[in-house]
């Protein structure tokens, strides 16, 4: 398959991006400033991220569409209000996570934001539940720009008046240069911010406005350190088809009503795990000192019994220490439990930590 580029490719290039192949796209891993500075500018001012490689999947239909989607998504879509968003997942028959996503209700149906690496399979999986009268569109004419950081609201308000009225996990349509933008107050960094769905032909203008307001471009490298500090999962690393939402410590993302009534893939298994707990569970991990416990680092108890595996690990620039997430046997999951981490054949100390590592500041 040919490597794809987003509409912003040339802008990234002019901004000094270093590119890496990611999910079939040529994407910036970092710009001139480097990962740590990009991370800090997002936390202290604002940064923009090109996330146009993610799928913007639109579904249109009546009540039967909602019912169809509820078979594969454990959110309470029937009660979801127009312009409200939920974090949820696609589940397989075993309750395993096919992808994690953000679903937003709109007037005609739903918009689902899908991970780039998963989107083609996701659409195939969702389509199995759809009926003839349900319309679907993966809209490649739209870019998706995340604007994240404490100054985001002040800056975007200058361009799009009244955008500051949006509350966390809600969205709306806004007019910009006679084009419709759909903006949600959301993101994946642990900061206040927005995700802006904008026609490809207008995206360069938006980016120029952001740059003129000293918003820095942020690459995938800092996106990873930001989301990990915020305790958020990265699909393909912290989540996969063999992991269910209970193990992933994401049971909060299954709607209360759906937990009680079920009717979605893997419900029997999930119901059982909700009552009896799972064998393993996702936890935060703080290595001692400066050593970094990367993905696939083995986790041991203090008496050297293997109890789990790290799924994401890096240095957290805002906590100024290494941070990691992984899965451990549930009886070792309590916050503060001392553990050992095997790195390059040597065992280092560490502790189970609460999540997030970095306190969020969403606008509610």
Q: Which residues bind another protein (CB under 8 A)?
A: 29-30, 34-37, 221, 225, 290-292, 294, 314-315, 317, 322, 344
**CA dihedral for 193, 197, 201, 202, sign (positive or negative):** negative
> Measured from the CB atom, is 23 or 36 closer to another protein?
36
Distance CA 348, CA 297 (A): 11
Q: Angle at which helices 220-229 and 35-44 pack, to 10 degrees?
A: 60
Shortest distance (Å) from residue 195 CB to another protein: 24
> Measured from the CB atom, is 34 or 263 closer to another protein?
34
Q: Which of 208, 129, 195, 134 is nearest to 168 (CA)?
A: 195
Distance CA 163, CA 173 (A): 10
> Measured from the CB atom, is 34 or 277 closer to another protein?
34
DSSP state of 245: T
> Measured from the CB atom, is 204 or 295 closer to another protein?
295
Is 272 in contact with 245 (CB distance < 8 Å)? no
Question: What secondary structure, in 3-state letters, does 279-306 show?
Answer: CEEEEEEEECCCCCCCCCCEEECCCCCE
> Measured from the CB atom, is 178 or 320 closer to another protein?
320
Shortest distance (Å) from residue 19 CB to another protein: 12
Distance CA 134, CA 107 (A): 14
Shortest distance (Å) from residue 338 CB to another protein: 21
> Measured from the CB atom, is 61 or 221 closer to another protein?
221
Shortest distance (Å) from residue 290 CB to another protein: 5
Helix (H) or strand (E) holding 349: strand 346-353
Shortest distance (Å) from residue 34 CB to another protein: 5
Is 87 in contact with 186 (CB distance < 8 Å)? no
- Distances 317 to 39, 122, 222, 263, 312 between C-alpha atoms, Å: 7, 33, 9, 42, 15
> Measured from the CB atom, is 75 or 220 closer to another protein?
220
Shortest distance (Å) from residue 356 CB to another protein: 18
Shortest distance (Å) from residue 35 CB to another protein: 4
């Amino acid at each position: 398959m040919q490597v794809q580029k987003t509409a912003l490719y040339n802008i990234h290039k002019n901004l000094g991006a270093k590119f890496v192949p990611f999910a079939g796209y040529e994407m910036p891993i970092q710009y001139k400033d480097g990962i740590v500075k990009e991370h800090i500018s997002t936390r202290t001012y604002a940064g923009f991220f090109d996330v146009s490689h993610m799928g913007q999947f639109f579904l249109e239909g009546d009540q039967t569409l909602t019912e169809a989607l509820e078979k594969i998504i454990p959110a309470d879509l029937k009660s979801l209000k127009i312009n409200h968003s939920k974090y949820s997942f696609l589940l397989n028959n075993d309750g395993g996570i096919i992808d994690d996503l953000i679903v937003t209700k709109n007037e005609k149906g739903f918009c689902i934001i899908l991970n780039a690496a998963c989107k083609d399979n996701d659409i195939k999986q969702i389509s199995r539940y759809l009926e003839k009268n349900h319309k679907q569109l993966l809209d490649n004419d739209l870019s998706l720009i995340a604007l994240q950081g404490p100054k985001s609201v002040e800056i975007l308000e200058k361009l799009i008046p009244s955008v500051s009225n949006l509350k966390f996990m809600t969205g709306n349509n806004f007019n910009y240069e006679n084009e419709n933008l759909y903006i949600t107050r959301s993101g994946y960094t642990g900061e206040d911010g927005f995700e802006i769905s904008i026609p490809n032909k207008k995206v360069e203008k938006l980016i120029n406005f952001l740059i003129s307001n000293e918003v820095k471009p942020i690459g995938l490298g800092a996106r990873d350190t930001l989301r990990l500090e915020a305790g958020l999962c990265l699909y393909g690393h912290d989540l996969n088809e063999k992991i269910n939402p209970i193990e992933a410590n994401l049971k909060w993302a299954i709607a209360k009503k759906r937990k009680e009534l079920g009717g979605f893939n893997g419900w029997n298994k999930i119901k059982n795990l909700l009552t009896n707990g799972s064998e393993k569970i996702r936890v935060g991990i703080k290595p001692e000192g400066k050593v970094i416990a990367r993905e696939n680092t083995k986790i041991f108890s203090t008496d050297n019994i293997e109890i789990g595996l790290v799924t994401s690990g890096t240095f957290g620039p805002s906590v100024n220490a290494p941070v990691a997430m992984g899965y451990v046997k549930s009886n070792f999951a309590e916050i503060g439990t001392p553990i050992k981490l095997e790195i390059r054949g040597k065992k280092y100390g560490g502790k189970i930590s609460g999540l997030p590592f970095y306190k969020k500041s969403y606008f509610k």
